[in-house]
Copies of this chain bind each other. A is one copy, B any other.
């Protein structure tokens, strides 16, 4: 959830400007604004600093207050840690030595990738030592026969995609944050994104991992095989563990062939039941070339128009669908997409639509969807929820939230990855109201659970959703998570205050 009082005023902070020393509107320290108690960890002191400087050299041990800031504050400006030091290892061995030392000295650590997380998992809560993976950015090998890539975990997602593109492959994961987020952070949070409907999730696409355990032990799970059944599948335990079970240092990922053609249909619809029918029709008619199904309601398009000046190219409708195909034959795909849209129009599922094939127009249609979150930094207060739901209840959730809030906010709107049941539900208001925020959060969590959905679809638990962990899991599952944490990190030095309430 992004809902947070720091959004009550216009926020002009831009993460790319940090290096120009132009901070404005930084949030207050998390330790002051949240009801959370520091664990019994040791404090970072001079002898620790000397150890790290000996290990990494002075340049890769950051203590300058200004330089620390971008590591202490999260991208959404919701949280602010008070760490005194950022370590920047370049090798697995360095990560291992850091953790062995921290574990021995009961020093808490916060592993950090691109720091683009939406649930506050990537910044310290108190003074945890930040281990930034940004210098572990080597692409080690791309196997052109199988399309598997082996790299260090600090490689930026977009860079990884560019590298495999040169060999004719595509990274089977696409996120709005791709220009900043790390593949290691993606794995640690089991990132989902736009293309999950096509390529599946990371549990299916990650072949191998190297992980450093809390005690510094290097766990080699680096098997590059698509099929390997030799014992428990341990790597999956670390996918989505949000830095609480180990630090991912290397990743082996399988990449499918890069599609040669892309088409986008942008459709206007009258009612949610037509949205559902059109989605099912797309799944059936477009089958294997379907690569994204995004839905937006009218209020989303209105919001985007107001704050990021995008305009629907097909006029006003209660619902919009953006349907993307990616395939190996431009001619075939174009034929399929046009036949699909024509038939959906004839069946009165869809009221209006446009299809784009050339790159610029495709990008233009995608911007209608992708630019929506940019508006969140301009609109005042926003309560943002990332839930997943059985798709028959998908839009009921938006309607019910609207009824619940009535005129207490300026707008309630929903958009998201319909193909995966993943709804981004938002309430925006120029005024901030703490009581409203609290009751809205509770309402969404309870309703989502009632519908049999998940309170965190793709953003993870992090710091902000930790109190929902017991509600989101059966008692047995919650208990087993606690046991697994104890087994792998008995001193609880890894990313404390995250995931667990």
Residues of A whose CB lies within 8 Å of any CB of B are 143-147, 168, 189-190, 192, 196, 200-201, 203-205, 213, 217-221, 223-234, 236-237, 239-241, 245, 257, 259-260, 276, 280, 283-289, 326-329, 332, 335-336, 388-392, 417, 420-422, 452-461, 465, 468-469, 472-474, 476-478, 480-481, 483-484, 487, 499
Report Cα–Cα, A5/B339, bound state, in Å. Answer: 60
Report Cα–Cα, A53/B42, bound state, in Å. Answer: 58
| CB < 8 Å neighbour of A332 from B332, B460, B477 | B332
| CB < 8 Å neighbour of A231 from B225, B327, B391, B499 | B499
Which residues on the B side are within 8 Å of A421 (C-beta)? 146, 225-227
CB of A145 within 8 A of CB of B392, answer yes
Do A234 and B481 form a contact, CB below 8 Å, given A203-B203, A453-B225? yes
CB of B480 within 8 A of CB of A145, answer no
CB of A480 within 8 A of CB of B230, answer no
CB of A232 within 8 A of CB of B237, answer yes
Do A469 and B225 form a contact, CB below 8 Å, given A284-B168, A329-B332? no
Do A201 and B204 form a contact, CB below 8 Å, given A224-B390, A328-B336, A329-B336? yes
Q: What distance in Å separates the Cβ of A149 from its nearest Cβ neighbour in chain B?
A: 14
23 A-B pairs (CB sep. < 8 Å): A144-B280, A145-B280, A145-B390, A145-B392, A146-B421, A201-B226, A221-B474, A221-B477, A224-B452, A225-B453, A226-B388, A228-B454, A228-B457, A229-B456, A230-B456, A231-B240, A233-B237, A233-B241, A236-B236, A236-B237, A257-B284, A257-B287, A288-B328
Q: What distance in Å separates the Cβ of A165 from its nearest Cβ neighbour in chain B?
A: 13
By Cβ-Cβ distance, the 9 closest A-B pairs, closest first, are A204-B204, A287-B328, A236-B236, A230-B472, A220-B474, A228-B454, A227-B457, A200-B204, A203-B203
Q: How many copies does the complex hold?
A: 2
Which residues on the B side are within 8 Å of A240 (C-beta)? 229, 231-233
CB of B454 within 8 A of CB of A231, answer no
CB of A461 within 8 A of CB of B329, answer no
Which residues on the B side are within 8 Å of A226 (C-beta)? 196, 201, 388, 420-422
Do A145 and B219 form a contact, CB below 8 Å, given A239-B233, A336-B328, A454-B225? no
Q: In the complex, which residue of chain B has the Cβ closest to the Cβ of A242? A: B229
Q: What distance in Å separates the Cβ of A407 from its nearest Cβ neighbour in chain B?
A: 32
Do A461 and B229 form a contact, CB below 8 Å, given A234-B477, A327-B288, A477-B221? yes
* Max count, chain B CB within 10 A of own CB: residue among A225, A388, A456, A468: A225
Report Cα–Cα, A79/B473, bound state, in Å. Answer: 40
Report Cα–Cα, A219/B499, bound state, in Å. Answer: 20
Q: What distance in Å separates the Cβ of A436 from its nearest Cβ neighbour in chain B?
A: 24
Apart from A230-B456, A236-B237, A259-B288, 12 more pairs, CB < 8 Å? A145-B390, A190-B229, A213-B476, A230-B468, A230-B473, A231-B473, A231-B477, A231-B499, A236-B239, A286-B328, A329-B332, A484-B487
Q: What distance in Å separates the Cβ of A213 from its nearest Cβ neighbour in chain B?
A: 8
Which residues on the B side are within 8 Å of A478 (C-beta)? 231
Q: In the complex, which residue of chain B has the Cβ closest to the Cβ of A211? A: B476
Report Cα–Cα, A390/B143, bound state, in Å. Answer: 9
Which residues on the B side are within 8 Å of A459 (C-beta)? 229
Report Cα–Cα, A231/B475, bound state, in Å. Answer: 13
Report Cα–Cα, A168/B281, bound state, in Å. Answer: 11
Which residues on the B side are within 8 Å of A228 (C-beta)? 388, 454, 456-457
Report Cα–Cα, A461/B233, bound state, in Å. Answer: 12
Which residues on the B side are within 8 Å of A477 (C-beta)? 219-221, 231, 234
CB of A458 within 8 A of CB of B227, answer yes
Q: In the complex, which residue of chain B has the Cβ closest to the Cβ of A474? A: B220
Do A229 and B189 form a contact, CB below 8 Å, given A145-B280, A328-B336? yes
| CB < 8 Å neighbour of A236 from B233, B259, B417 | B233
Which residues on the B side are within 8 Å of A422 (C-beta)? 226-227
Report Cα–Cα, A286/B227, bound state, in Å. Answer: 22
CB of A190 within 8 A of CB of B233, answer yes
CB of B230 within 8 A of CB of A257, answer no
Which residues on the B side are within 8 Å of A392 (C-beta)? 145
